Structure 1
Amino acid sequence: MDDAEAQALNRAIRLLSLRHRARAAELLAPLGLSTGQEALLLELSHAEATTQAQLSSALGCEPPSVTVMIRKLEARGIVRRGPSPSDKRATLVELTDDGRALVERIGVVWRQLADETVTGLDDATASELAGLLMTLTGNIDDRYRIE
């Protein structure tokens, strides 16, 4: 890849990332959520209860960031924390009924954002896009994985 192609690719990825996050913030604001909180809630929706350490790993966030998000969501009654019955050092986090209802609303927002993002692409290209983006993510992850 020559310099011009590299600059164009990196610029496109950077702009997409910035604009996607900004639009997500706009769509999540009426739900009282900031970006990142929705990912935590979606992650919790796939498990009955999980530890804060597992959430940090799944989200690719530092544990203190996850702790702050959980505290804010707990104060709103969206999640609850409690001790792990199997590990006294661990805290389990789970959705409340209000949290599960909010996850459904997040799903609507996420579908809207996805539809807006792929507007103008044919169905085949839009379907292929997620796989291509995950390949790019994997390329970066493979180069920075600490073993």
Structure 2
Amino acid sequence: MNFDQADVINQAIRRLSLRHRARTAALLAPLGLHPGQEALLLELARTGPMIQAQLSEALGVEPPSVTLMTRKLEASGHIRRAPAPSDKRASIVELTDSGKALTDQVKRLWCALAEETVTGLPAQTVAELPGVLNTLSGNVDARRLAV
């Protein structure tokens, strides 16, 4: 691949990433959430209670980021943390009723954001998009882990 092709691809990915995050922030703000917190809530809704270290791995973020997010979400009443029975140093995180209600709002927002993002694309492209994006992520992850 030559530089011009590489530049077009890399710039497009960069722009999409920045704009998607900014749009996510704008949509989450009225709910009192910051980007990343919605992913934590959605993960707990999908999997149920889990240890913070598991959350960190599932979200692909560093443990201190999960600690900060859980503290903020706990302070706002959306999650609760309790010592893990098997390891008192670890905390199990779970949604509260408030968190479950907020997650329902996040799911609606998430659907609207996805629809907004893929507007104008053919249905077949939309159907193929998760696979393409997951392949791109996997390619970058494989290189990052090899370094």
TM-score (structure 1 length as normaliser): 0.96
* Distance of 1:64 and 1:48 partners within structure 2: 21
Instruction: Give the superposed CA RMSD.
Output: 1.2
Runs ≥4 residues deviating over 4 A: none
Structure 1 equivalent of residue 116 of structure 2: 116
| Structure 1 letter corresponding to 2:67 | T
* Distance of 1:49 and 1:117 partners within structure 2: 31
Structure 2 equivalent of residue 38 of structure 1: 38
Structure 1 equivalent of residue 53 of structure 2: 53
| Structure 2 letter corresponding to 1:116 | E
SS class of match (1:44):
helix
TM-score (structure 2 length as normaliser): 0.96
* Cα offset, 1:48, TM superposition: 2.4
* Distance of 1:26 and 1:132 partners within structure 2: 26
| Structure 2 letter corresponding to 1:94 | E
> How has the CA–CA distance of structure 1 residues 14 and 102 changed in structure 2, closer, same or farther, with 3 Å as cutoff?
same
Structure 1 equivalent of residue 138 of structure 2: 138
* Distance of 1:125 and 1:46 partners within structure 2: 26
Cα deviation digits, residues 11-55 of structure 1 (max 9, x gap): 000000000000011111111100000001111112221111111
Structure 1 equivalent of residue 89 of structure 2: 89
Which segments of 5 or more consecutive residues in structure 1 lack a partner in the other structure? none
Instruction: Count the aligned residue pairs.
Output: 147
Percent identity, aligned pairs only, is 61
* Cα offset, 1:146, TM superposition: 5.4
* Distance of 1:105 and 1:13 partners within structure 2: 28
Q: Does 1:22 align with 2:25?
A: no
Q: Does 1:5 align with 2:13?
A: no
SS class of match (2:87):
coil
* Distance of 1:30 and 1:69 partners within structure 2: 17
> How has the CA–CA distance of structure 1 residues 87 and 146 changed in structure 2, closer, same or farther, with 3 Å as cutoff?
farther
* Distance of 2:110 and 2:88 partners within structure 1: 36
Tell me which protein shows more helix as a share of its residues. 2
